[in-house]
Amino acid sequence: MCLGTYVRTTIIDKLVLDFVNRHAGFNTPLPTSLSTEATQSATVESPQSPSTPTQPEPSLQYPLPPSTRHKVQIISLGAGTDTRFFRLLQHHPHLAEHLIYHELDFPATTLKKIQAIERHPFVKDLLLTAASRAAATGTSPDSGELCPSGEDLGRTSIRISTDGTNLTLPLYNIHAVDLRDLGRPSSPTSAPPPTLPNLHANIPTLMLSECCLTYLPATTSTALLTHFATTLMPRPTPLEVVMYEPLHPHDVFGKTMRANLASRGISMPGVDAFPDLDAHGRRLSEVLGKGESGQGNTAREDGEQGETGRGKESVESEGWTIKDVWDSMVNVEEKERLRRCEMVDEEEEWVLLAGHYGVIRGWRT
């Protein structure tokens, strides 16, 4: 695993588990790491207070009282081959009682992912075990075997579409969809936006986008976020968005980076409209504050937060470059371990690259 992927995965895993801890109602918070045993021993500091070392994280207490079992929903845009859902269940099996997870991507991608799930017994068994656990606790109506070609097996609620591109299950769904279709304005002559089975409009929701929206025009990606924030998850549903995006396309390194991508036929039309953390923060504040008066706050390059009061609700945002995460949230011992795992010949180049990607979080409460 390259260093940048490790840092990105570490901070996004932490933000995901922070979200679950805030909304699932656990008596004792989950450890905010999905890393391997070696990395679990490292201290990763809280992004909200990077100067304060975290304390050893407690283990979850069992059993959970029924009154604390709250559902949370995670939506991954352009999920590709991401395995976060399965890592969540592997580390915290009881999350099957609380979690509804959605992955959206092109049909060609979802087809390969569903085939991979069917082909690997460990992954398939993990999914079926989670479905059984959810059903046993009364948080899912049914469980059963994977059934291809859209066929039902008794009371099963796990289904794979006839073309093999969609998988539906109360706690896990793979949707074959072109994200641009969700962001297109509706009109009497246009087709309605695609439906997303098992999507719930009234439970706390986290949206993830890891280097996805930058490949869409700015107007399209903003319309997509707005569709989720105002139509699919309208107020007062708590909604949070976490994005990983390229930054600073107009300096020397940014121009070189874009030129290298262009030479391979890859363009990022969204990066010009949102070139830094501040611009991303403004966009998220505006989208999440739709329907309310006043302006949202902005995320700043130093990671500080702002807040806009909206009656009993508020919209907030914050952001960090990958370099910020590396410098302030990964301790010295872990840095040394990672350097031994991956020899970095050009430290200066890594620093430059890490400063040109960032993680932005916006949320309304």
Q: pLDDT tens digit string along 133-170?
A: 887 765 543 333 444 444 333 334 578 999 999 999 98
Q: What share of the chain is helix, strand, coil (3-state, %, to 5)?
A: 40, 15, 45
Cα gap 307→60, rounded to integer Å: 31
Most confident segment among 162-166, 293-297, 306-310, 345-349: 162-166
Q: What average pLDDT does this structure show over 13-19?
A: 94
Nearest CA to 4 out of 264, 267, 244 is that of 244
Q: Is the dihedral of CA 230, 231, 237, 239 positive or negative?
A: negative
Most confident segment among 18-22, 28-32, 49-53, 333-337: 18-22
Residue 296 has pLDDT above 80, yes or no: no
Kindly report the number of other CB atoms within 10 A of residue 22's CB atom: 17
Please tell me the pTM assigned to this model: 0.82
Confidence of residue 290 (pLDDT cuts 50, 70, 90): confident
Nearest CA to 292 out of 350, 213, 235 is that of 235
Cα gap 114→144, rounded to integer Å: 16
Matching residue, tokens 């099957």:
96
The pLDDT value recorded for residue 120 is 92
Quick check: 86 and 123 in contact, CB under 8 A?
A: yes
Q: What average pLDDT does this structure show over 55-67?
A: 36
Most confident segment among 50-59, 135-144, 288-297, 317-326: 317-326
Q: What average pLDDT does this structure show over 116-140?
A: 83
Give the model confidence (pLDDT) of 169-215 as tens digits: 989 999 999 999 998 877 777 788 889 999 999 999 999 999 999 99
The pLDDT value recorded for residue 138 is 59
The pLDDT value recorded for residue 360 is 97
Give the model confidence (pLDDT) of 101-117 as tens digits: 999 999 999 999 999 99
Q: Which range has the worst mean pLDDT, 88-92, 137-141, 202-206, 293-297?
A: 293-297
Q: Which amino acid is at 110?
A: T
Q: What average pLDDT does this structure show over 343-347?
A: 69
Give the model confidence (pLDDT) of 23-34 as tens digits: 988 777 787 776
| 2-172-362 Cα angle (round to 5) | 60
**Strand bridging mode 205-210 / 239-246:** parallel
Greatest alpha-carbon span in the chain: 61
Confidence of residue 230 (pLDDT cuts 50, 70, 90): very high
User: No. of H helices and E strands in the chain?
Assistant: 12, 10
For residue 73, give the DSSP letter.
E
Nearest CA to 241 out of 181, 289, 173 is that of 289
Quick check: 32 and 364 in contact, CB under 8 A?
A: no
Report residue 229: phi and psi, to 5°: -75, -25
Q: Is the dihedral of CA 215, 217, 218, 223 positive or negative?
A: negative
The pLDDT value recorded for residue 291 is 54
Residue 297 has pLDDT above 80, yes or no: no
Confidence of residue 315 (pLDDT cuts 50, 70, 90): very high
**Domain boundaries, given as residue ranges, for the chain:** 1-48+59-67+213-365, 72-199
